[in-house]
Structure 1
């Protein structure tokens, strides 16, 4: 879900911002861009544009560009743009709140980047870590979305990274903010998905562009420990199956280098491999090397929920009523652990956490 921008029309004297695309035909105005950016970053009620660079009718695209390129900006609502160069900004929350939340956000981003930006990590490793972090730590704000009561924060990186709750704009802007800090080329893209306004990321890795929709990779309802990659580093052709956007405004994504991820219904990463439940093979467990080679089937059991600790895979055996089992990484030594339909498995230290599907009760098992 993408947030709408407000509209007011004041004939002759003022021009209110309308929604545009980041590559719309507008002058590349460094002076006006900088003035608008600085005002919005500081949540100021007023700003300026350079009347020698453009007329007031041309300012709307610059404001939209600023918003789409600077995810640190919080709670912008709309703007009146006057022909004398003045701009009046309106925010959905007080400026003092925006500034305080920006400070919290900066601190949180630094903390997240410590876990993402590990020594020797490639840009791909960092992008995947950002994708996984957001899937694991953010829940889609479905309740408010259904009631049309989505709070302003859920459209922002603050909603994702501090509140842990967001709609699509919050996921997209959080990923954008983190990748910006790492110097990875990426862009905020808006369009439609299944007929509704939506946003996602465009990422450049090793000279190739890829699309990434983290919102649609996060299970709904939220399921802790479940990581999907259906929309992770996909091509334009793949994304077009259920997304639409102004394609002429963006580079085409044509590389299939990471297509093997798209078979991952759920996945766990180890030092050398990805273990995953296969979309194409009824959630059977597979292993594949991190370069996408050496794909191997581990077991025929249907295991949509699983996690790994040491040499063991703990999983919900949907070939046996979803009961909890464990087996070695090579598929041997399978052993039943309970008679309960167990879902949402995740391991913390020496404890396996899961949910009893029938009672919805959270359970623990020492391992």
Structure 2
């Protein structure tokens, strides 16, 4: 069995986020110092405030669909096997069990992965398994990362208790009466702030701990992409947000991420690639709620098990998907939903109000987007070097009656790949 050991591509982050390095003219209303040293540091824990209306009921009290893989298994016999896996995996049974049908390796892998995809809380179940072909039946032996043994018969019980206590604490910290989008954003931000990418595990040929599961991301607080994905799915589901894990490749490497369903439409989310691991003092949301056409520029979703032949399966070295929806949603893409879009630099009211509100809220940064109808680099240069940004900050200070008062020296990041400029807010 192949485990997700994809290396994290921080070079993508560094190339996408270019630091402006030219000092603005002193005749402007504010001057901007630009330098990498002032940008590096801990990321803020606050997320950007959204303009979405809040729900009138706690979303985590609403049931969500968590059986997408089970519902899309290719036969009733595999659904029968799925239920047997549930029975044996729950107690980490150290024994074979038998299904009254001859099943191929492909069918067994499909069913084990289906169960794991629907049950990220069963963190101890591994993708590895053993089986015996009995001609007219199949005996399956599941493998676990945590299993009771003679030296510690309560080992799994204690791990479950620690895991559940951690999950409950995270759920209790979620915003109340929030929209699905706000809850999803909370989960993304929690993982970015509290989990680090496990580079050593990614470079290892073997699983050395919980790097591929939700326990690693939430309890050990270190994981590779599959661990991020499982944890994100689990927390979203617990908060009432439909979410599944997806396998495929990112920049040509084996990778795992998520699909989220909001208002009946699916979106692509890659929390692993949203996590800069401290390379910036602010979070990035480049891969938060993208439609498939934009996401596919860097990611490739694996085919479904039902779409491949037995020979293709035998010659492959990666996982397939049981269910992978086409993500067509665009409304809740972070940079268009939560950020101001500048389509006319001479019409500054909206961006000035956004800067003023961010200052009132004590935010440490503000993202705004250059509309695709404008050339990003020339528009950014115009905003920065011809005094527009200086005027916007001055107008925001005036709107707040200089309480709080934004420093007239500021730092910027420009992200050409996603048409985003990030303003680092400093206060006097």
- Could you tell me the TM-score, scaled by structure 1's length? 0.65
Deviation at residue 122 of structure 1 after TM alignment: 1.7
* Structure 1: stretches of 5+ with no match in the other structure: 6-20, 265-273, 288-293, 301-306, 320-326, 344-353, 355-364
Counterparts of residues 327-338 of structure 1 (less than 5 Å): 330-331=396-397, 333-335=405-407
Q: Cα distance 1:334–1:187, how it changes in 2: closer, same or farther (>3 A)?
A: closer
Structure 1 window deviating more from structure 2 (75-84 vs 195-204): it is 75-84
Residue by residue, what CA displacement relative to the aligned partner does 1:59-110 show, whole Å, maximum 9, x if unpaired?
Answer: 3321221122111223425212233443222334444544422221111111
CA distance in 1 between counterparts of 2:159 and 2:199 reads 23
Higher fraction of strand? 1
Structure 1 window deviating more from structure 2 (200-209 vs 178-187): it is 178-187
Higher fraction of helix? 2
Deviation at residue 342 of structure 1 after TM alignment: 12
Contact 1:46/1:86, CA 8 A, preserved across alignment: no
Corresponding residue of 2:99: 50
Corresponding residue of 1:67: 116
Q: Cα distance 1:88–1:215, how it changes in 2: closer, same or farther (>3 A)?
A: same
1:90 equivalent to 2:146? Answer: no
Contact 1:231/1:262, CA 8 A, preserved across alignment: no
Q: Cα distance 1:225–1:113, how it changes in 2: closer, same or farther (>3 A)?
A: farther
Secondary structure of the structure 2 residue equivalent to 1:133: helix
Counterparts of residues 13-162 of structure 1 (less than 5 Å): 25-27=74-76, 29-51=78-100, 54-57=101-104, 58-75=107-124, 76=126, 78-82=128-132, 83=134, 84-95=137-148, 97-116=155-174, 118=176, 120-146=177-203, 151-162=208-219
Q: Cα distance 1:328–1:122, how it changes in 2: closer, same or farther (>3 A)?
A: farther
Secondary structure of the structure 1 residue equivalent to 2:293: helix
Secondary structure of the structure 1 residue equivalent to 2:141: strand
- Could you tell me the TM-score, scaled by structure 2's length? 0.57
CA RMSD of superposed structures (Å): 4.1
Query: Which of structures 1 and 2 has the bigger CA Rg?
Result: 2
Q: Which has the higher contact order (CA 8 A, sep 6+)?
A: 2
CA distance in 2 between counterparts of 1:134 and 1:4 reads 18
CA distance in 2 between counterparts of 1:87 and 1:171 reads 28
How many residues are treated as equivalent by the alignment?
291
Residue by residue, what CA displacement relative to the aligned partner does 1:131-152 show, whole Å, maximum 9, x if unpaired?
Answer: 1111111111124424657632
CA distance in 1 between counterparts of 2:210 and 2:296 reads 29
CA distance in 2 between counterparts of 1:328 and 1:27 reads 66
Counterparts of residues 257-336 of structure 1 (less than 5 Å): 257-259=331-333, 261-262=334-335, 295-297=350-352, 310=360, 312-314=362-364, 330-331=396-397, 333-335=405-407
CA distance in 2 between counterparts of 1:28 and 1:328 reads 68
CA distance in 2 between counterparts of 1:314 and 1:122 reads 24
* Structure 2: stretches of 5+ with no match in the other structure: 6-68, 149-153, 305-322, 367-383, 385-392, 399-404, 414-423
Contact 1:56/1:81, CA 8 A, preserved across alignment: no
Q: Cα distance 1:88–1:299, how it changes in 2: closer, same or farther (>3 A)?
A: closer
